[in-house]
């Protein structure tokens, strides 16, 4: 079995090149980005995962370099984030009107990846997008703390399209939720949840039947209605993973024929099979559509540190001796890339790829797995 390793001493020599590759193509063939990109270059869709903690700097840097390699060397022309779809629509509109600003893209991407390590890469994304080389989009129906476009646009969209409910009441309810401004007079409870669900569903229904309504507005209203239906335990609501898949499907259809796309998400959403997971991952729907034209790469770590969106640093405890992370790395290993064939030869083995350790034949879920020996927490721009 041939496994690709990089020792820590070599990694330290290569690190400046890896970090600076956002501004110039790397000609080094043994970097992690080059190896992964070469392995998936011929695919139509490539899904890049990360640990569900969304806070690992080495994983972020590697994914950014892989994205750039796929765009520059393999003709990929679209990148989708596990991030709210609303502000990406706002950014797309600004790009079309030649009014886009880099801070709009930062807000759309969100706080998880607003790190100092990715600053140059996000500028590269902005330049690629505004020059028409790369399409950027979001997949999530949720609204984040950085969703400025959503917070300023959706209350008016909602109020303009509700039918049976009071528009002002609906607008106020949505603003309270998006800014999380609850008090004794307006607590966040069953009454408020019902109001949000009813208001957003009425607006979505009206826009759906309005022939001249903007398609993006229809989709934003549809996503918002599904979000509040799901939050209100409505059994008819789509799961978050299915909503992300449908948003990918809709937005991909708007790209030029046979476009090659990358999805940046968590490994737990990327898996090709549900297996022991409680919910069906987005990757299952993607596999049903794309089959062997898609590749899914998982990311994990033996140990280290993690920080989500600038929150306090948490320790990634050393993986058990019988785990994939422990067996496939040593003290002088920076990272390991395991292909699907190599994963298959390992058989069932324990790994924290989904956050919690599970014993799985990981080749049935991923086309490759990256293991970092010593992860580190990112540095956030607001720190």
Q: Is residue 142 part of a domain?
A: no
| Residue whose pair of structure tokens reads 């990360």 in the numeric block | 50
Q: Is 153 found in the same domain as 225?
A: yes
Domain region containing 173: 148-237
Do the domain assignments include residue 231? yes
- Measured distance CA(344)–CA(324) in Å, rounded: 12
Q: What percent of the chain has pLDDT over 90?
A: 88
Beta strand 368-375 with 356-361 is unpaired
Phi, psi of 14, rounded to the nearest 5 degrees: -85, -20
Q: Are residues 292 and 359 in the same domain?
A: yes
Task: Please tell me the total count of domains within the chain.
Answer: 2
Identify whether 382 is part of a domain: no
Q: In the predicted model, what is the mean pLDDT of the chain?
A: 91
Query: Quick one: which of 84, 66, 89, 91 has its CA closest to 76?
Result: 66
Q: Is residue 105 part of a domain?
A: no
pLDDT at residue 20, rounded to an integer: 27
User: For residue 8, what pLDDT band results from cuts at 50, 70 and 90?
Assistant: very low
* pTM for this predicted structure: 0.91
Average pLDDT over residues 64-85: 97
Q: Which of 184-217 are b and which e, b meaning 16 or more Cβ less than 10 Å from the residue's Cβ? A: eeeeeeeebbebbbbbbbbbbbbbeeeeeeeebb
H/E stretch holding 324 reads helix 324-327
Task: Supply 246's token pair.
Answer: 């449908």
Statement to judge: residues 214 and 271 lie in one domain:
no
Residue 307 has pLDDT above 60, yes or no: yes
Burial class (CB in 10 A: 0-12, 13-18, 19+), 32: buried
Helical ranges in 26-166 per DSSP H: 32-40, 57-74, 85-96, 102-109, 119-130, 148-159
Flag whether 324 is in a domain: yes
Domain annotation covers residue 180: yes
Residues 57 and 163 in one domain: no
In a domain, 128, yes or no: no
Using alpha carbons only, what angle is made at residue 79 by residues 152 and 207, rounded to the nearest 5 degrees? Answer: 40
20 falls within a domain = yes
Q: What percent of the chain is modeled with pLDDT above 70?
A: 92
Q: What pLDDT, in 10s, does the model give residues 238-278?
A: 999 999 999 999 999 999 999 999 999 999 999 999 999 99
**Same-domain check for residues 282 and 360:** yes
Q: Does 15 share its domain with 72?
A: yes
Read off the pLDDT of residues 348-362 as tens digits, 9 standing for 90 and up: 999 999 999 999 999
* pLDDT-derived band at 163, boundaries 50, 70, 90: confident
Task: Looking at the structure, tell me whether residues 199 and 298 fall in a common domain.
Answer: no
Please report which confidence band the pLDDT of residue 14 belongs to, taking 50, 70 and 90 as the band edges.
very low
Question: Phi first, then psi: what are they for 317, rounded to 5°?
Answer: -65, 150
CATH number at 54 reads 3.40.1660.10
Judged by average pLDDT, the poorest of 22-36, 49-63, 107-121 is 22-36
178 and 72, same structural domain? no
């Amino acid at each position: 079995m041939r496994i690709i390793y990089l020792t820590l001493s070599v990694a330290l020599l290569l690190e400046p090149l890896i970090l600076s590759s956002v501004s110039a193509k790397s000609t080094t063939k043994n970097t992690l980005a080059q190896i992964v990109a070469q392995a998936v270059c011929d695919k139509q869709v490539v899904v890049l995962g990360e640990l569900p903690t969304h806070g690992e700097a080495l994983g972020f840097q590697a994914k950014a370099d892989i994205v750039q390699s796929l765009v520059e060397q393999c003709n990929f022309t679209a990148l989708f984030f596990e991030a709210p779809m609303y502000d990406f629509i706002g950014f797309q509109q600004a790009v079309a009107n030649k009014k886009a600003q880099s801070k709009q893209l930062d807000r759309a991407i969100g706080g998880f990846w607003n790190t100092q390590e990715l600053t140059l890469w996000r500028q590269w994304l902005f330049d690629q997008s505004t020059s028409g080389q790369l399409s950027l989009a979001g997949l999530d129906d949720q609204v984040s703390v950085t969703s400025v476009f959503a917070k300023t646009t959706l209350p008016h969209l909602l109020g303009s399209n509700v039918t049976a409910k009071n528009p002002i009441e609906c607008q106020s309810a949505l603003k309270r939720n998006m800014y999380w401004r609850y008090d004794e007079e307006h607590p966040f409870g069953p009454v408020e949840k019902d109001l949000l669900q009813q208001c957003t569903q009425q607006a979505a229904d009206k826009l759906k039947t309005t022939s001249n309504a903007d398609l993006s507005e229809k989709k934003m209203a549809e996503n918002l209605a599904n979000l509040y239906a799901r939050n209100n335990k409505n059994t008819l609501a789509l799961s978050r993973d299915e909503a992300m898949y449908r948003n990918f499907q809709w937005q991909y259809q708007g790209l030029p024929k046979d476009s090659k796309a990358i999805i940046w998400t968590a490994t737990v959403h990327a898996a090709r099979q549900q297996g022991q997971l409680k919910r069906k991952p987005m990757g299952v729907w993607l596999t049903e559509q794309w089959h062997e034209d898609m590749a899914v790469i998982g990311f994990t770590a033996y140990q280290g540190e993690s920080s989500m969106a600038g929150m306090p640093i948490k320790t990634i405890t050393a993986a058990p001796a019988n785990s994939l992370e422990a067996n496939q790395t040593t003290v002088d290993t920076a990272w390991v890339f395991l292909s699907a064939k190599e994963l298959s030869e390992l058989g069932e083995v324990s790994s924290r790829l989904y956050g919690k350790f599970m014993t799985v034949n990981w080749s049935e879920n991923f086309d490759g797995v990256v293991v970092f020996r010593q992860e580190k927490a990112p540095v956030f721009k607001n720190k």
